Amino acid sequence: MSDHFDIAIVGAGPAGGNAALTAAQSGLRVVLLDEQPAAGGQVWRGKSPSILSAPMTPETKAGNDLRHAIDQSQINHMSGTRVWDIRRDGDKWSLQILCDAQSLQITATSVILATGAREYVQPVTGWTTPGVIGLAGATALFKQSLSLPGDKTVVSGTGPLVFFVASEIRRLGGTVAAIVTPNTRADWARALPSMLQHPKLLARGGVWMADLMLAGVPILWGHAVSKVCGDDHVTSVQTQALESDKQGPIFEADSLCLGHGLIPQIEAAQMLGVPIHHDPALGGWVPDVSPDGVTPVKNLYLCGDGCGIRGALAAGLQGTLTGARVARDLGKTAPAPSIRAWQRAAGFGKAMTGLSIVKPKLEALTSDDTILCRCESLKRSDIRAEITTGAKSTNAVKSGRRAGMGPCGGKYCQTVIAALIAKETGKPIGAIPPSTPRPPLRPVPLGQAAGDFHYDDLPIPKPAPL
Amino acid sequence: MTDQTHYDIAIIGGGIMGCSTALRLASGGMSAIVLDQGDLGQGASGVNAGTLSLQIKRVKLMPYALKGHHLWEEMGDAVGFAKTGGYTLAFNAREAEMLHERQTMKAKAGAPIEFVSNNRLRAAEPNLTQKVQAASFCPEDGYANSSLTGQYYRGRLQDAGIPYREGCKVTAIDQGAAFTLHTAQGKITATRILLAAGAWLKPLAALLDVDLPVNARVNTVSVTERMPPLMSSVIGHATGLLTMKQKANGTVLVGGGWQGLGTPQDGRGTVNTATVKPNLALAQYAVPALAKARVTRSWTGFEANVPDFYPLAGALPNVPNAFVLGCVRGGYTIGPYIGQLMGDSILGREPEMPLFDPGRDFEKDTI
Ligand SMILES: Cc1cc2nc3c(=O)[nH]c(=O)nc-3n(C[C@H](O)[C@@H](O)[C@H](O)COP(=O)(O)OP(=O)(O)OC[C@H]3O[C@@H](n4cnc5c(N)ncnc54)[C@H](O)[C@@H]3O)c2cc1C
Ligand SMILES: Cc1cc2nc3c(=O)[nH]c(=O)nc-3n(C[C@H](O)[C@H](O)[C@H](O)COP(=O)(O)OP(=O)(O)OC[C@H]3O[C@@H](n4cnc5c(N)ncnc54)[C@H](O)[C@@H]3O)c2cc1C
């Protein structure tokens, strides 16, 4: 196998998967890289073999269709493969990848980043207690292994995902203690016009709601979790009404799914020099990119939730647009699909993302005692002290307090820290960019990054002058 | 702090050179302001490997480095200082010879360096490879945490009542009775100026029509996740191409001056995997157990130099009342001390040790 490809695609979710299919149809050599064991990304995540007989959901079906199409194609799909660095090397890109605990390098003429999103959790006291998991993270549990977060679960967060997660927990035989969502019915009414464009998705939402109501699961609109109680495990969850600040009910539970929307994973794009801007309606900082994936960086393309949270449907359509665009840019004949369908889907996705824009009252539930940086156990008071003594950027806070220097690389604290800097300095959030991302994109064992070597062959340069 | 716009001196560059000089000048009674295009201590001074090692200092800079070590010791916990001692290793006969030659000269220059037996080395550092051929030791060596540079100097400047401005790039300089600096935040006038812009000295001096032959090296550093204790002292390599230490929190920092990509004009620079790999290989060769440690970050910073690799420290040629400080090899170690010398010189006092004339002929003159 030659290790040069026309196109290397990072991420085999709806976006990357469809980009790969479209590009491969035009006869290009495509490699599709994803650290997951199967294609499908977050939303169409494959099941682990032990549960293959479990009932089919629309996500499994869409994922199976994608996986089947990839299997039938000429695409070189490398699953279980982690991309840890990408850089320009003359007229091509070189990618460092980890596959079966082996470090390899491949090269490609063009790169498509389809790295998707990660979850945002607005920290509250106790959110790091064992038994608390992400709301989106919970969907991975269901899809991959059909396991439940606990026996009795509070499900809390924004957007449609709370209802999906609650109904999945019930379907899998768990008990939902309550649904707690910062969104109000009025928030949903505002999103309705864009939802009407997608009757199928709307209907699915209707089914979840009907199930939850029939089961008598309490739904607290306009509420949030204000505190998670329990020493070494969740024992109960306190709630609060956001508008009135009134304390809400306390629910006994052994688990909590908590999430407040998604954030685009932009680190790879940033590292390769794509400019970014802040757009709350798209989940925060997003790279500059056209609907068909073109960026200001030559031969670098982006698609899917990694360039703005627009949802799975839009991600797939943008993947197709981008795959066709790259093929044409590489001199192949490929269809030039209309962007209308993507725009429609994106409108819906943005309306859903809008439901997760953090409300000031929700932000106010993060107190000085709340841990903001899990890796370094830093409380909001620690970060605030750093800001009030003069650190005015995310990089400065990172340097002074190590917030963002732990294994997560800042993925889980940078958003809330930037918001705090903005608040303390009176600047708009769009003036506080995330800290400089650094390779590796994922932590890599040193021995694997170094690769096999013979000491005598190490290219040791001339030592410094005496 | 008043809303003053005229200063005795404006210091352009808030790295270790600019900040340490500002402190000296203020203690000598001058009104000073520090201007940085970014944040204080986010240039080389905030991203370097933090090694305080006499074993990797240039022979002629040894007296300055020795003084620097004492200042770091005084700064102590606030900068994450640790005096651990350091071993420099040779893995083959050629390196052993180089080690012997180089460390002997450094010892003669005043560094308390000795050669140590394998037994002693193993007793001190049991996780080192068995392949060491020769080793030297210096009890003065250690490290500080360069990430804390910005935090530390911000506090020191505030305590000394020295104003500083971040996000304040100097884009033009008018000369007259006083200097007028055009910045991203308006105009500032000063009787004197100090150029302390690190790897950006060349474009800065060009604003005054002075051509400083400054080049930038793009040094790389990597860090691992927290590990159980693997080493207790600073570990170096005979060639200088590895410096390594395990911090109190368990993370291991690996440097050695391997070159990344980019230029100071284009942003922060990028890591070149082709050079990070041999850097990490060297680290793993020295301490094999590092193979399992996950690397969480690699980054680069710009280190400035002139063709003879000695500092620029003194009056800027042909521009009265303008001074320059930078291009100091091992500048993190030496910065706090040479800043004091620079300050004294600007204050009209005789510095304790000689400075380095920025107007010298870099090809011919000997330091
Ligand atoms: C945890 C989670 C669960 C979600 N669950 C749902 C859901 O149930 N329903 C729903 O409608 N939406 C869900 N979403 C939203 C989701 O992001 C979709 O909108 C959709 O999956 C976006 O498609 P995508 O192709 O852009 O990205 P993704 O589907 O996220 O695909 C990105 C892929 O890139 C891979 N990747 C990223 N970086 C690297 C790297 N460096 N090396 C190798 N591989 C890499 C990831 O493994 C991933 O498979 C979820 C999001 C998250 C974060
Ligand atoms: C990766 C790396 C590792 C190193 N390791 C070590 C080590 O282990 N031990 C050691 O002793 N030394 C080490 N060094 C060297 C040491 O870091 C430097 O010598 C020292 O920090 C230089 O300080 P400085 O103040 O001159 O430069 P800098 O810290 O770069 O400061 C210059 C400042 O000037 C500002 N500036 C530039 N232009 C303008 C303008 N026009 N207007 C306003 N502001 C401007 C910049 O923003 C910057 O903050 C290392 C260097 C690097 C890069």
User: Based on the domain organization, do B13 and B151 belong to the same domain?
Assistant: yes
Residue B365 in domain = no
CATH architecture of the region A367-431: Orthogonal Bundle (1.10)
Which one of the ligands is nearest to A345 CA?
1
Confirm whether B360 is domain-assigned: no
**DSSP per-residue letters across B329-357:** TTHHHHHHHHHHHHHHHHTTPPPSS--B-
Phi/psi of residue A196, each to 5°?
Answer: -60, -20
Per-residue pLDDT tens over the stretch B256-302? 999 999 999 888 899 999 999 999 999 999 999 999 999 999 999 99
Whose CA is closest to A336, among A292, A290, A288? A292
Domain assignment present for B351: no
Q: By the 8 A CB rule, do A120 and A261 touch?
A: yes
How many domains are contained in chain B?
Answer: 2
Mark whether B93 and B220 lie in a shared domain: yes
CA dihedral sign of residues B56, B61, B67, B72: negative
CA–CA dist B97, B93 (Å, integer): 6
Instruction: Please tell me whether residues B235 and B139 are part of one structural domain.
Output: yes
| pLDDT tens digit sequence for A210-221 | 888 889 999 999
Give me the amino acid identity at B236: G
Cβ-defined contact of B273 to A96 (cutoff 8 Å)? yes
Contact A390 B155 (CB under 8 A): yes
Q: Are residues B327 and B279 in the same domain?
A: no
Residues B128 and B231 in one domain: yes
- Residue closest to A319 by CA, chosen among A6, A45, A7, A14: A14
A121-260, which class in CATH?
A: alpha beta
β-strand partners of B137: B87, B114
Q: Which of A288, A342, A287, A343 is nearest to A19 (CA)?
A: A342
Nearest to B334 by CA among B360, B308, B303, B362: B303
Looking at the partner chain, which of A409, A456, A458 has a beta carbon nearest the beta carbon of B297?
A409
Which ligand places an atom closest to the C-alpha of B46?
2
My answer on whether B233 and B339 are in the same domain is no
B223 and B294 share one domain: yes
- B153 and B140 together in one domain: no
Give the domain ranges of chain A. Answer: 2-118+263-353, 121-260, 367-431
Which residues of A are less than 8 Å from B291 in CB distance?
445-447, 450
B292 and A446 within 8 Å at the Cβ level: the answer is yes
C-alpha span between A466 and A443 (Å, rounded): 36
For residues B139 and B235, membership in a common domain is answered with: yes
Q: Which pLDDT value is given to residue B2?
A: 44
Structure tokens at A396: 């400065």
Q: Which atom of ligand 2 is nearest to the CA of B42?
A: 49
The token pair at A122 is 């607005």
Q: Give mean pLDDT, residues A188-211.
A: 86
- Using the Cβ of B197 and the Cβ atoms of chain A, whether some distance falls under 8 Å is answered with no
Judging contacts by C-beta atoms under 8 Å, the chain B residues touching residue A440 are: 295-298
CA distance B154 to A7: 47
Range of the domain at B22: 6-44+147-212+307-346
The mean per-residue pLDDT over the stretch B15-36 comes to 98
Tell me the pLDDT band of A466, cut-offs 50, 70 and 90. Answer: confident
CATH (domain of B232):
3.30.9.10
The nearest CA of chain B is from the CA of A372 a distance in Å of 19
- Whether B230 has a pLDDT exceeding 60, the answer reads yes
Which pLDDT value is given to residue A50?
66
Same domain, B36 and B181: yes
Confidence of residue A442 (pLDDT cuts 50, 70, 90): very high
Residue A1 has pLDDT above 60, yes or no: no
Per-residue pLDDT averaged across A155-161, rounded?
96
Check whether residue B221 and residue B98 sit in a common domain.
Answer: yes
| pLDDT (0 to 100) of residue B1 | 41
Please indicate, yes or no, if residue B118 is contained in any of the structural domains: yes
Task: State the CATH architecture for A2-118+263-353.
Answer: 3-Layer(bba) Sandwich (3.50)
Reply yes or no on whether the pLDDT at B148 is more than 60: yes
What is the arithmetic mean of pLDDT over B158-172?
98
Residues B341 and B284 in one domain: no
User: Looking at chain B from residue 292 to 331, which residues have their Cβ under 8 Å from any Cβ of chain A?
Assistant: 292-299, 309, 329
